[in-house]
Amino acid sequence: MADWKDRSRNRLKQSIKHERFWGWRRKRRRLLCQIPDRKEKAMTNEQYYSLLEPYQNACQMMLTRLEVLNHNLYARDTVCPIHTMQHRMKEKNSIEKKLEKKHLSAGIANARAYLLDVAGIRIICYFVSDIFHLVEAVKKQSDLIVIRERDYIANPKPNGYRSYHIVVGMPVYYRDAMEYFPVEIQLRTMAMDFWASMEHRICYKKNPVNEQKLRAEFEKYAGLLEKIEKEFEHYNGESVTKE
């Protein structure tokens, strides 16, 4: 009964925080829609760097939390779920192109109101179980908002792409206020990352001859890598015991 009450209380807290985040974004969008044709001057370089600052703060705080989880997730402190971590801020031209695809002018206000991937973290784990343990631990952190989740491990994309995407709202505190900023986290195993890197290098950028044949081949390779990955995870067995 106590566990059920705790879960209900946590769901309520998460719902309130989620509504605060999206309420802020809806308000910002309504204000933008009052501008004729939603036109906004393109970002200058100075505005771009100003836009990035709170996202960089949010990203750095999330990286610190992930480092702590990496060394404390499992009972044995010699076993860590994370192989490598990378992070990036979305480049100015990428922000502009993404807003243009949404038929929005490429200004700083639209970027803050409509984009969830200005700050991004990519985590490479050893096993699929590591990914889900990490995601569970992140979602338990009471001051974070889970904004969006996409499970491409259980439901791979048609081309064979597998990964787990989660966007969290990280609270950034100022002198007299607090605001949530989204950080997109992509979690992959080493096998998933190898496949994605090769697919991006060979299929995505170069527009190769026989593209459809190549994509069919990569879908087959994704299945083979998944099978190998499962065999390695079987060998891993009970050597990792989750607290």
**What is the side-by-side order of every strand in the sheet holding 164-173?**
82-89, 119-125, 178-189, 164-173, 145-151
Between 214 and 92, where is the model more confident? 92
- Tell me whether residue 224 is in a domain: no
* Both tokens assigned to 66: 């992930």
In a domain, 100, yes or no: yes
Instruction: State pLDDT tens for residues 141-169.
Output: 999 999 999 999 999 998 899 999 999 99
In a domain, 105, yes or no: yes
Is 222 inside a domain boundary? no
Judged against a pLDDT cut of 50, whether residue 232 lies above it is answered with yes
214 near 208, Cβ under 8 Å? Answer: yes
Tokens of 23: 């309420």
Q: Where residue 13 sits, what CATH number does that domain have?
A: 3.30.460.10
DSSP secondary structure letter of residue 43 = P
CA angle at residue 188 from 102 to 171, to 5 degrees?
60
193-215 mean pLDDT: 78
Assess if residue 36 is contained within a domain.
yes
Domain assignment of residue 227, yes or no? no
What's the pTM value of the predicted model, to 2 decimals? 0.80
- Reported as a single tens digit per residue, the pLDDT across 60-103 is 999 999 999 999 998 776 789 999 999 999 999 999 999 999 99
Residue 119: strand pairing partners:
89
Specify the pLDDT at position 29: 55
Q: Is it the case that residue 16 has pLDDT exceeding 70?
A: no
Could you tell me what percentage of the chain is helix, strand and coil, using 3-state DSSP and rounding each to the nearest 5? 55, 20, 25
Q: What tokens were used for 44?
A: 């200058």
Q: Domain range holding 83?
A: 2-189
**Angle value at C-alpha 80, between 78 and 81, nearest 5 degrees:** 155
Number of domains observed in the structure of the chain: 1
- Within-domain flag for 166: yes
Strands 119-125 and 164-173: unpaired
Task: Flag whether 16 is in a domain.
Answer: yes
Residue identified by tokens 């505005």 is 47
pLDDT at 188 over 50: yes
